[in-house]
Structure 1
């Protein structure tokens, strides 16, 4: 466990030696208990907040001190001046309870354990609606607008695998194995390791592996920074950076992934709030059409007892829509993957994805229909300028 960041923070903010020792021992205890690095990092972020909002020794906290911290959390604003989300505030209060209870138990401080008993309103996270989800067509537009093959492969793989960002950051070159239908990729996430198949967008990964700067190193991150960084220059105190340190390509950070994705989405004209985890939500919704609940849990890396699969089954319920359409005499035909097969309203022939017109000439998209109307209007305007030609055409129509 790296403690340099929290130590430097305490020094720069003149935190008392007692409080510094308390937070260090608490973080080391979390590390010894086997918690994941991301969880420990989140606790460290909270402890920084705690240390900057109290001058009291943490092992001598009173009810007033706990109330003051809760008030500070309620008034919490981020660096951009915007208030923290209700969910973030609730999480900090939960982390405060765990700190008081955990550190109190480890030091036999019954007063701290008692202080952990405070209530607060539970906040439900924002529920995604079906209109928030990205369609496959929208994802492909975003991929097309990504700059460079690394970014295209990143977006495509997060989407097709339904991967968590942390799983992609943990992914190494050695986790990628050839498969007759693409690649098997081993993801290591909060529920353990799982192997998933990359098929549809395998071409992007093939191209990225050709361009990857460390493709022959099995331990190299699958998605790396374009630049090389020294060990102390990436995510650490820049003042400690050494000019002669070994430099290497580092794993892409979450903020970098989200920024490149948002930039590509804007370029593609997508108006939705696009972020990396939305790709996972969108794929889970798509797969809910064709997979059983247990299959979906395995694909997405959810525990067997998790209720997450039900969320996406509810978001994607084509059976009800199809039943309503059937009541009007409309039969929705689906392919083997459960995707709707569009058919021409005139001749009933199937329409491949991306086609604007059927072979019979019927426009099959709204844009094509609008283009046809504009063309008809232009022709009529032209004919009105030539009465003789208009009369000839009219006689042919009759």
Structure 2
């Protein structure tokens, strides 16, 4: 079922499927064919830049929406046209500050590419049409995380205790102990966990790079899960798989 020729990193977010869906949505969009072409070409430039597929999905969707805000093709827009777009973004009450920031950052990046082509990153200055746009978030608007927003160790213990299956106990415990992104934990394979005489060592790769932390608190939970894992002898199998009748034994996905 799981072979060595499979992608070394599992896609628990189904980004490939979502990327194809975003292209399909773009193709069916009522925006002009010219703007569709420009978005597709910019996506190609982002791929050559090695931008993650998740960011490219966001860029395609954002530019599709921005195109609907404009009355002209991207390459025909004036500075005033873009100022009107920014005004529409800023007056979207249902959008968070972070979403508005993302939209503006993508617009600025896109128009830099539109002005300079695929070598746009070699240019320090932005073109005049977009150089006026501010994309930083004011310090007073920065999201704040309160202590009450963070689960305590006691609350984590309660979550682990009420979890009925060893898989869930191991997953919750490792998320807490490693402090890793859910994508880093969720994309692990059997071969990414090894054990010495002390405890398990986890081979993690993500945005923060590669590291091999040791787990202590999670060690017994992971051991219990691996003991009953149906593919524990297959190094390329996902560490986390579905348990129910629907999609049973398939890799676990994160919606």
TM-score where L is the length of structure 1: 0.52
Alignment partner, residue 205 of structure 2: 188
What do you get for the CA RMSD once the two structures are aligned? 2.8
1:348-382 per-position Cα deviation (integer Å, ceiling 9, x unaligned): xxxxxxxxxxxxxxxxxxxxxxxxxxxxxxxxxxx
Does the aligned pair in 1 maintain the 2:189–2:239 contact within 8 Å? yes
Residue 179 in structure 1 maps to residue 184 in structure 2: no
> 1:86 and 2:97 equivalent?
yes
Q: C-alpha displacement at 1:213, in angstroms?
A: 4.4
Displacement of 1:26: 1.0
* Aligned residues of 1:209 and 1:215 also touching (Cα < 8 A): yes
**Larger Cα-atom Rg:** 1
Q: 1:217 corresponds to which residue?
A: 234
Question: Cα offset for 1:55?
Answer: 4.5
1:263-283: CA deviations, max 9, x gaps? xxxxxxxxxxxxxxxxxxxxx
Structure 1 residue ranges without an equivalent (≥5) = 78-82, 230-247, 256-398
Distance in structure 2 (CA, Å) of the matches to 1:19 and 1:50 = 10
Residues 84 and 12 of structure 1, relative CA distance in 2, 3 Å threshold: same
Aligned equivalents of 1:181 and 1:190: distance in 2? 28
The 1-side partners of 2:65 and 2:235 are apart by: 38
Find the aligned partners of 2:20 and 2:109 in 1 and give their Cα distance. Answer: 23
SS in 2 for 1:27: helix
Aligned to 2:12: none
Distance in 2, matches of 1:178 and 1:94, equals 44
Is the 2:203–2:210 Cα contact (8 Å) retained in structure 1?
yes
Shift in Å, 1:88: 2.0
SS at match of 2:247: strand
Secondary structure at 1:196's aligned position in 2? coil
Give the structure 2 partner of residue 101 of structure 1: 112
1:110-149 Cα offsets, whole Å, 9 max, x none, are: 9x83222112562443232334332211111122223433
Q: Given the superposition, is the C-alpha separation of residues 6 and 252 from structure 1 closer, same or farther in structure 2, using an over 3 Å criterion?
A: closer
Question: SS in structure 2 opposite 1:177?
Answer: strand
Taking structure 1 as reference, are residues 71 and 158 closer, same or farther at Cα in structure 2, changes over 3 Å only? same
5+ residue gaps, structure 2: 1-14
1:209-358 equivalences in 2 (<5 Å): 209-226=226-243, 227-228=246-247, 249-253=250-254, 255=255
Q: Distance in 2 between matches of 1:189 and 1:57?
A: 37
- Tell me if structure 2 keeps the 8 A contact 1:7–1:20: no
The match for 1:7 is: 23
Q: After superposition, what is the alpha-carbon deviation per residue over 1:293-335, rounded to whole angstroms, capped at 9, x for unaligned? A: xxxxxxxxxxxxxxxxxxxxxxxxxxxxxxxxxxxxxxxxxxx
Structure with higher RCO (Cα < 8 A, 6+ apart): 2
Give the SS at the match of 2:205.
strand
Specify whether residues 126 and 142 from structure 1 end up closer, same or farther in structure 2 by C-alpha distance, changes over 3 A only. same
Confirm or deny that 1:145 pairs with 2:162: yes
Q: Give the conservation status (yes or no) of the 8 Å contact 1:86–1:123.
A: no
SS for the counterpart of 1:26 is helix
- Contact kept, 8 Å, 2:205 with 2:211, in 1: the verdict is yes
> How far apart in 2 are the matches of 1:213 and 1:47?
44
Task: Report the TM-score, using the length of structure 2 for normalisation.
Answer: 0.77
**Distance apart, 1:68 and its partner CA:** 2.8
Partner of 1:158, secondary structure, is helix
